[in-house]
């Protein structure tokens, strides 16, 4: 089956610094990747949708200058949290979708990344 790998699984950074999270599709080409934020015992809140080679589409209320998303290739998307603050501490999780002919509408999730800003 399709595998999505996310790195790092846990990261601690100082307030004011930037941190990058990577999302890779290991055995398929991800035409679309999604980035979510998940608070404890809450749902997956979509932050942005990115298609390879084009700018990400951000959900309402998500600051695009703070959460930089780059989908440079069909197997890699990155989320950079810039000038991080303690309130940015959360679980960030990506998902990817492959070619519709082969994978249909199924999206595959990464393992998630716990970000703690101190």
Partner 1 sequence: GENVEQHPSTLSVQEGDSAVIKCTYSDSASNYFPWYKQELGKRPQLIIDIRSNVGEKKDQRIAVTLNKTAKHFSLHITETQPEDSAVYFCAASIRDIPTFGRGTSLIVHP
- List contacts with partner 1 (CB under 8 A): 4, 32, 34, 41-44, 46, 49, 93, 97, 105-112
The DSSP result for 7-21, as a single string, is: E-SEEEE-TT--EEE
Q: At closest approach, how far in Å is the CB of 22 from partner 1?
A: 15
Give how far Cα 83 sits from Cα of 68, 74, 88, 117, 118, Å. Answer: 11, 27, 10, 10, 12
Which residue, 50 or 78, has its beta carbon nearer to partner 1?
A: 50
Q: At closest approach, how far in Å is the CB of 83 from partner 1?
A: 28
Which residue, 11 or 82, has its beta carbon nearer to partner 1?
A: 11
Q: At closest approach, how far in Å is the CB of 109 from partner 1?
A: 4
Q: Where are the alpha helices (DSSP H) in the chain?
A: 100-103
């Amino acid at each position: 089956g399709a595998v999505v790998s996310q790195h790092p699984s846990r990261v601690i950074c100082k307030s004011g610094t930037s941190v990058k999270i990577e999302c890779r599709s290991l055995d398929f080409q991800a035409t679309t990747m999604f980035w979510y934020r998940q608070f404890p015992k809450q749902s997956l809140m979509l932050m942005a949708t990115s298609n390879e080679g084009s700018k990400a589409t951000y959900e309402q209320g998500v600051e695009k200058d703070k959460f930089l998303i780059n989908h440079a290739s069909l197997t890699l998307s990155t989320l950079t949290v810039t000038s991080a603050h303690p309130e940015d501490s959360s679980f960030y999780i990506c998902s990817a979708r492959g070619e519709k002919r082969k994978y249909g509408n199924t999206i595959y999730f990464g393992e998630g990344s716990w970000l703690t800003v101190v």
